[in-house]
Structure 1
Amino acid sequence: MQTTVSRRRTALSVSCTTHVVQDGLIATIYVLLPVLAEALGFSYAQVGLLKGLKSVSQAVLEMCSGWLSEQIGELRLIVVGLALSGTGYILLSAATSAPIIATFLLIIGTGTALHHAPSSSLIINNCPTKKRGSSLGLYNAAGDVGKLVFTGGFSLAAGAGLAWYEISFGYGVMAIVAAIAITAVSRPIRQQWNKEEAAESNNGEQVAAAGWGILNWRSFGALLVVTCIDTLVQTSVLVFMAFLLLAKGLPLSIATGGTVILLAGGVFGKTGCGYLADRMGVRPAFTLIQVLTALGLICVIIAPNWLALSLLLPLGAVAQGSTSITYAFAADLIHPRRMARGYALLYASGTFAAAAGPVVLGLIADEFGIETAIYTMALITIFTVPPIFVLPTVPDQEAELL
């Protein structure tokens, strides 16, 4: 029987590997769409519609991923998601029109929707309570590593002369290989876990909860508000920071490079903030990170260009690192047997917020200027702090499950 340490390592290795690949494939869409627009003559409206279809399909199916995880198991669902994402990318390499590309992006969106909830559930259910924050921090950081590696790989491959469809095919094959590898490695582990779960059921342990398995809807609702606002700000910072740098007079190459620096900061932030929450506690750690984020955004606006650029790495760390804190706290509000469902709801809400945020802040930027939009992000960031202090330190385990 696996030890607790062994189970944690297995859960982390499988989840982090999946996150690297899946988030890498998600981020590649950002660099692939402009290439497709140039190659196939798409309008801006068509590009926006294609991205929107992919995001909505991911958000909707992400809500179902928790239930699916319970039906077939976290490990199987993770493999299915990788296989679907890989298949979508392989098919995309042969696409020649907007409707066909939209269809294949829906397949990719389906695949990428099937990893956050089961992976988070896998980590939470196999890690000690005191290590949840740090474990989820490593998991979140792995996703940012994937974003950097896959988008950087796409740029390097394109610079080396490879066509977009060749890169798309290669990424698809890579995802399917990852699915096969995880299947082979996890098969004996999955069998052992199934035996242990059957033994727990026979002993009457961990009785399944009804519905979503939320222990306290009022507290979970407050956490949903916090994570949605937090995700909205994170996404908007990544979308609009390059435009702020352009408005400050920096050249396009440096302005776009600023987004890469923010992503790099996120790798350190998501790892470090998880450890910070384990040691300081959720409330003080989250408050500190949000205050630093707001101050960082303001400083980038008013600072001279050389200082603004130097602030991007720490800003990326704090702006994106808060995710590791809030998602770790969510585990205390979800029944252990419904962990995947609860996280599916949390991730889906964040995905919808990530789709809506840039639209709203983009309208503000069009009407009042990019600086005003960034100031608005800083103000919104502070609004996430009060609800954290409303959340209970110890969830009500006797609350009605809905």
Structure 2
Amino acid sequence: MSRTLDIDRSDRALPEATTTQRRSLGGACIAHALHDGYTDLLYVLLPVWQAEFGLSYAGLAALRSLYYGTMGGLQVPADRIAARLSIRAALALSTLVAAAGFVVMGLSGGLFGLCAGLVLAGIGSSIQHPRASLLVSDAYGRAARGPLGIYNFAGDIGKATFPVAVALLLGVLAWRPVAGLMALVGLVAAVTLVAVLPRRPLVPAPTRAAKSVAGSSRTGFTLLMAVGALDTATRMGTLLFLPFLLEAKGGTGTTTGLALALVFAGGAFGKAACGWLGERVGVVRSVVVTEAITALLVVALLPLPLVPTLVLLPALGIALNGTSSVLYGTVPDLAPRGDTGRAFALFYTAVIGSGGIAPIAYGAFADRAGETAGLLAAAATALATVPLVLALRGPLKAAQTHTQE
């Protein structure tokens, strides 16, 4: 009788746990799509801001980095502060703050107001990545690699849709009203997060990191952060020059929105494809292949006319964005001392910080040497990851061996 009761309780508990996992993943995906969409819609606005404020490439990159650098630099401190709140409250609040940044941009009358709005939006977005990643990791434990891939994929959905929406809106509205509409979308997302995310704090499921503490090493995690930083630098450099490359080939603002949608749509597919590739051929081999393909395709963009360039962009997106799915899924394997939450915060600090600094360096270089040289520098950065990835073989093998014990 007692055994029967235990089985019944187990059967009743299973749907509840599954629902909690689904709500956690769904909320994390909503937050990721919104905040990544906010980040990448800025690319469509860069030519508009350049024309209005008379900015150089370096100045334009610095303007964007007010958002990106703030978001990256505050990952660890913002995560520590947000840890005092429930993840549900932290994600909803961060979304409201980011939306408020777009309100400030929309109401700005000059460059100073735009800068203030970018900084405020960056503060809001600094909380999302570590908290949402930890939410998914806590909900799924050792089975989190697949859900983390879905979470990563959701970010590309935002990247693919927000730039297109902004590009289309810019055809009928000035950029300030468009910023106000984006703020409204953020408000709706914040309300949705409150409704979707579990009300009670999650009891973390057993993680891979907890079993692989001895096999993990600071060296391995440091290498992983370095690879992530260079991979992000490649992506940011390529995307910085892409709108101007398209304009030089005869493209318009709408063309830029379409081009970014093609890149990020390819990237969304790449997240799934590279995750599959990483599971079957290993992290090292899959990253080496995708980075080499990225460098080749970036160079191939230069001589092509506009239409063939657009045709090539989805393939570029697969390699350009897909690598990150493999890298994010490896964070729990190499988390120092098994502290997955802090590992995610540190990893996102490295990759987002790189995304803030790299465009400034690429922009300054392009101001002197031209857009073509800037794109070639981005391709060279992709190849620079290869020796670092090869050095990861030892730490990954040690972590895998300890996990299997």
Contact 1:89/1:168 (<8 A) preserved: yes
Match of 2:89 in 1: 76
Q: Note the C-alpha offset of 1:47.
A: 5.1
Paired AA for residue 164 in structure 1: W
Q: Note the C-alpha offset of 1:284.
A: 2.1
Contact 1:290/1:318 (<8 A) preserved: yes
- CA distance change for structure 1 residues 336 and 144 in 2, over 3 Å: closer, same or farther? farther
Paired AA for residue 396 in structure 2: T
Q: How does 1:3-14 map to 2 (within 5 A)?
A: 5-14=18-27
Q: Note the C-alpha offset of 1:236.
A: 0.9
Contact 1:15/1:123 (<8 A) preserved: yes
1:321 and 2:322 aligned: yes
Cα-Cα RMSD: 3.3
Whole-angstrom distance in 2 between the partners of 1:83 and 1:297: 36
Match of 1:347 in 2: 348
1:106 and 2:119 aligned: yes
1:227 and 2:206 aligned: no
Q: Which runs of 5+ in 2 are unaligned?
A: 1-12
Match of 2:182 in 1: 171
Match of 1:88 in 2: 101
Q: Note the C-alpha offset of 1:340.
A: 2.4
SS of match in other structure, 2:109: coil
Paired AA for residue 135 in structure 1: P
Q: For 1:105-159, what per-residue CA distance to the aligned partner results, in whole angstroms no more than 9, with x for missing partners?
A: 2211111111011111122222354550x33332222222212322222232332
Q: Note the C-alpha offset of 1:251.
A: 0.9
Match of 1:191 in 2: 200
Q: How does 1:217-256 map to 2 (within 5 A)?
A: 217-244=218-245, 250-253=249-252, 256=256
Deviates more, 1:281-290 or 1:28-37: 28-37
The normalised TM-score by structure 2 is 0.81
Match of 2:170 in 1: 158
The normalised TM-score by structure 1 is 0.82
Whole-angstrom distance in 1 between the partners of 2:101 and 2:368: 38
Q: Note the C-alpha offset of 1:222.
A: 0.7
Match of 2:264 in 1: 263
- CA distance change for structure 1 residues 173 and 214 in 2, over 3 Å: closer, same or farther? farther
Contact 1:135/1:274 (<8 A) preserved: no
Q: Note the C-alpha offset of 1:332.
A: 0.9
Deviates more, 1:294-303 or 1:95-104: 294-303
Q: Note the C-alpha offset of 1:10.
A: 2.4
Contact 1:238/1:262 (<8 A) preserved: no
Q: For 1:66-100, what per-residue CA distance to the aligned partner results, in whole angstroms no more than 9, with x for missing partners?
A: 32343223322111111111222233332223333
- CA distance change for structure 1 residues 359 and 36 in 2, over 3 Å: closer, same or farther? closer
Paired AA for residue 151 in structure 1: P
Q: Note the C-alpha offset of 1:218.
A: 0.9
- CA distance change for structure 1 residues 387 and 8 in 2, over 3 Å: closer, same or farther? farther
- CA distance change for structure 1 residues 296 and 163 in 2, over 3 Å: closer, same or farther? closer
Whole-angstrom distance in 2 between the partners of 1:393 and 1:323: 17
Match of 2:384 in 1: 383
Deviates more, 1:332-341 or 1:88-97: 332-341
- CA distance change for structure 1 residues 65 and 33 in 2, over 3 Å: closer, same or farther? same
Contact 2:294/2:316 (<8 A) preserved: yes
Deviates more, 1:57-66 or 1:9-18: 57-66
Whole-angstrom distance in 2 between the partners of 1:171 and 1:279: 40
Match of 1:356 in 2: 357
Match for residue 39 of structure 2 among 1, 7, 26: 26
Q: Which runs of 5+ in 1 are unaligned?
A: none
- CA distance change for structure 1 residues 233 and 43 in 2, over 3 Å: closer, same or farther? same
Whole-angstrom distance in 1 between the partners of 2:135 and 2:96: 19
Q: For 1:254-286, what per-residue CA distance to the aligned partner results, in whole angstroms no more than 9, with x for missing partners?
A: 973544432332121123212322233212222
Contact 1:130/1:278 (<8 A) preserved: no
Whole-angstrom distance in 1 between the partners of 2:157 and 2:358: 24
Match of 2:5 in 1: none
Whole-angstrom distance in 2 between the partners of 1:317 and 1:259: 13
Contact 1:120/1:136 (<8 A) preserved: yes
Match of 2:157 in 1: 145
Q: Note the C-alpha offset of 1:357.
A: 2.1
Match of 2:4 in 1: none
Contact 1:17/1:142 (<8 A) preserved: yes
Whole-angstrom distance in 2 between the partners of 1:32 and 1:13: 29
Paired AA for residue 22 in structure 2: R
Q: For 1:313-352, what per-residue CA distance to the aligned partner results, in whole angstroms no more than 9, with x for missing partners?
A: 1111111110001111111122687322211111111122
1:115 and 2:124 aligned: no
Q: For 1:289-326, what per-residue CA distance to the aligned partner results, in whole angstroms no more than 9, with x for missing partners?
A: 12222222333345676544432211111111100011
Contact 1:131/1:278 (<8 A) preserved: no
- CA distance change for structure 1 residues 214 and 350 in 2, over 3 Å: closer, same or farther? farther
Paired AA for residue 163 in structure 2: T
